Amino acid sequence: MAGRQTDLLSWRVIVPFLLTGAIWGSTWWVITGQIDGVPAAWSVFYRFALATPALFLVAMLMKRRLQLSRQEHLLAALVGVFQFSGNFLLVYHAELYVTSGIVAMMFGLLMVPNALFARIFLGEKIQPQFALGSLVAIVGVSFLLFHEWSSNPGAGVIGGNVGLGIVLAMLGILAASVANVIQANPTGRAVPMVSLLAWAMLYGTTFDLGFAVLTAGPPPLPTSTSYWAGIIYLALIGSVVTFPLHYNLVREIGAGRTAYNSILTIAVAMLISTLLEDYRWTWLTAGGMVLAVAGMVVALRSKQAR
């Protein structure tokens, strides 16, 4: 036990844990600058068009095999469509209507559909403590969403902007969850993670290009320096740098402990929304934040104990 504790306090754990939490927490706000006057679909494509070759380069530098079988390519294509297309396209469009920190908070509930899909398709059991913690977290997030809805001038209209944003975010969560579960099958486990992600990102980027052309017309060429700086940050720092750090953490301390990183990500995202998006706290939202985080901790502790 003492040795394990030393590992948790080592720089190999603390530095990537803090970096990934801070970076991923900041990306939710950076996305808002990518959808201001530029079609969200094209911003998603630009991000992964830059990130994809960089991730292939990372895989080569790590000396991971890049040749995949036909079945492995099919899996990579499915992961790419759900993760790097469906998930991100839905998230970018959701942030047109909902505060970025709230969308980040909703994604903290990704563990719930992950557990449900794993139960259905992989036969994994759901512990009562996980179910209880998840329920508490859902109630907390619901408080935040109710405040977001009620503070919107058109909130009384069914299908209003905030409502649409919430639905889009929920669909994005489901898309990400499907990607998480299907890559965990035996075929996915046989492929080096960085290689699977590189190919998945390539397939997803190809889909993003087609979607952008069909729905948003010709590609725009923004002249804003801040826009392209955001693309570079999201592609290289928010995608290429963090994935190897994240999966190294999984190897160092396990998936259960690594999952606590989502709490830090949410805290950073909500702090940035408060400072830069003028998010207003109330007793309802503060109580919702406490319940959401507490519920996530309870749920994550039960998964760690399995």
Domain ranges of the chain: 2-305
Amino acid residing at 101: G
Structure confidence at residue 17 (pLDDT): 87
Query: If pLDDT is split at 50, 70 and 90, which confidence band does 42 have?
Result: very high
Tokens in use for 186? 């035996």
* Higher per-residue pLDDT: 151 or 216: 216
SS3 label, residue 304: helix
Structure confidence at residue 14 (pLDDT): 85
SS3 label, residue 279: coil
* Higher per-residue pLDDT: 10 or 88: 88
Residue that the structure tokens 């009562």 belong to: 128
Residue that the structure tokens 């890049």 belong to: 66
Structure confidence at residue 254 (pLDDT): 62
Interval 139-158 mean pLDDT: 74
pTM more than 0.85: yes
* Higher per-residue pLDDT: 153 or 67: 67
Interval 52-81 mean pLDDT: 95
Q: What whole-number distance in Å separates Cα of residue 19 and Cα of residue 81?
A: 27
* Higher per-residue pLDDT: 146 or 53: 53
Q: Are 212 and 153 in contact (CB under 8 A)?
A: no
Interval 31-44 mean pLDDT: 95
Tokens in use for 144? 């935040």
pLDDT beyond 60 at 115: yes
Least confident residue range of 135-149, 173-187, 263-277, 278-292: 173-187
DSSP code of 109?
A: G
Query: If pLDDT is split at 50, 70 and 90, which confidence band does 8 have?
Result: low
- Shortest CA distance to 187 belongs to which of 87, 73, 55? 73
Interval 25-29 mean pLDDT: 95
Q: What angle separates helix 11-34 from helix 225-232, to the nearest 10 degrees? A: 140
Query: If pLDDT is split at 50, 70 and 90, which confidence band does 278 have?
Result: confident
